[in-house]
Structure 1
Amino acid sequence: MSRTPAHEPNASASAAPRKKGRAVIVGVVAVVVAIAAGFVGFLSQLHETEARPSRSADGIVVLTGGSSRVSDAMELLADGYGQRLLISGVHPASGASDISRSLTDNQSLLSCCVDLDRSAVNTRSNAAETRRWAHERGFKSLIVVTSNYHMPRAIVELSHAMPDIALIPFAVVGDKWREEPWWANGATVRLLLSEYVKYVAAEVRVRLADAGLDFMRETTDSDSLAPRRPATAQAN
């Protein structure tokens, strides 16, 4: 009776690691493809040119952090697209005078129709403070002003925070985006990849919250001892 030499591995035993290795490779490739497909889907949501909102709204909110966001929002307010404007995420050390110096053509609007939110520190708290502001004023529709690359995540957070309010996006397109393709600039590529990761994280958190698994609960209006009204630009 023939025997397998002691120095030769059993065929079935050697095949198992190869199958496991192939499974790992297939899994990694599947993850990479899914991430790439998701990134392409994210890019497809980004506007390459600015377009006026399809209709007016009760109010306008602009999320600070990108060039020309506030000036574009002020133009929409001046053109009658909303009754009031909330500038969300204003630095605590900044006052109305700092904003007015950069918006010399809209001094009267700053005095009558602009509110400043200095509490928000990220997109999620932007959404919480916007919800508070909109509900206090009885607004049912808002034009959302932010950069095109930030708009998908902003809409995820805002729509989750206030599903009862209609959101109309106005995406601000920066000069770099206009001047060259995004893939030709390393800084823009890094920005988009970073924003995509944040967008996916926001989507996952919101879906888990909708399923009753909110591990990072945001303070709601009812949790506050007293309602906080954003300061008017005139009062600062």
Structure 2
Amino acid sequence: MIRRSVATLFLIWALGFLWFAVWLPQPAQETATDAVIVPTGGAGRIAQGLDVLDRGLARQMLVSGVDREVKPEEFAAQFDVAPERMECCVTLGFAAVDTRSNAAETAQWVVDNKVKTLRLVTTDWHMRRAARELDRALPDDVTVVRDAVPSEPSLTSLFLEYHKLLASWVAGLFGY
């Protein structure tokens, strides 16, 4: 009985990991939203968020989880953002340190800025957990478009992120 239960749990875990690793989220269609949200941490995320702004698919952008040492002028110089663009349209969020606090920082910014639709830009392997945490933190009337940045993650990265997603799911079951 125990062997069968363990084998069943292992099979469910293995199939879940296969699904997670093989069918990574994809970039979004050309859908306009009020804002674009970019959690820091992965290559190509900020560039894709800025591209969304440049194409007029969002009016403003929050970069969540920026290191407290980074000054807006340094950010603008690194990503070639004009001062006018920084002033009108780009907000640097310094409160977040992980995916869960990215979601909390984003939710507060969304409420403060009366955002009803947003585009979440993050790496493909990070999208499911980031979107899950964001969905838990946002008001119910906010629509989220998932816009994954394609990557080539290592098996180790996928393994770790899959387990973080499972932990997030279990924490959600217990109200954490």
Normalised by the length of structure 1, the TM-score is 0.69
Instruction: Tell me if structure 2 keeps the 8 A contact 1:53–1:169.
Output: no
1:79 counterpart residue number: 55
CA RMSD of aligned residues (A): 1.7
Distance 1:151 1:95, change over 3 A: same
- Give the whole-Å Cα distance in 2 for the aligned partners of 1:100 and 1:166: 28
2:21 counterpart residue number: 43
Structure 1: tracts of 5 or more residues without a match: 1-22, 183-187, 215-236
- Give the whole-Å Cα distance in 2 for the aligned partners of 1:114 and 1:159: 22
Structure 2: tracts of 5 or more residues without a match: none
Structure label with greater radius of gyration: 1
Distance 1:42 1:117, change over 3 A: same
Instruction: Tell me if structure 1 keeps the 8 A contact 2:27–2:150.
Output: no
Note if 1:90 corresponds to 2:56. Answer: no
2:3 counterpart residue number: 25
| 1:170 maps to amino acid | D
1:111 counterpart residue number: 87
Q: What secondary structure does 1:60 align onto?
A: strand
- Give the whole-Å Cα distance in 2 for the aligned partners of 1:31 and 1:195: 19
Q: Work out which of the residue numbers 159, 166, 170 in structure 2 matches 1:200.
A: 166
Instruction: Tell me if structure 1 keeps the 8 A contact 2:30–2:57.
Output: no
- Give the whole-Å Cα distance in 2 for the aligned partners of 1:106 and 1:168: 26
- Give the whole-Å Cα distance in 2 for the aligned partners of 1:27 and 1:124: 32
2:129 counterpart residue number: 153
Aligned-residue identity in percent: 30
Shift of 1:139: 0.7
Shift of 1:52: 4.5
Distance 1:139 1:173, change over 3 A: same
- Give the whole-Å Cα distance in 2 for the aligned partners of 1:118 and 1:125: 10
Shift of 1:25: 2.7
- Give the whole-Å Cα distance in 2 for the aligned partners of 1:105 and 1:139: 23
Q: Write out aligned runs for 1:157-176 (5 A).
A: 157-162=133-138, 163-174=140-151
Instruction: Tell me if structure 1 keeps the 8 A contact 2:20–2:162.
Output: yes
Q: What secondary structure does 2:96 align onto?
A: coil
Of residues 155-164 and 200-209 in structure 1, the stretch that sits farther from structure 2 once superposed is 200-209
Paired positions, count: 175
| 2:4 maps to amino acid | V
Structure 1 runs of 4+ off > 6 angstroms?
A: none
Q: Work out which of the residue numbers 95, 113, 122 in structure 2 matches 1:137.
A: 113
Post-superposition Cα deviations, 1:24-55, rounded to whole Å, max 9, x if no partner, equal 332322221011011123235413xx634341
- Give the whole-Å Cα distance in 2 for the aligned partners of 1:45 and 1:136: 35
Normalised by the length of structure 2, the TM-score is 0.92
| 1:98 maps to amino acid | E
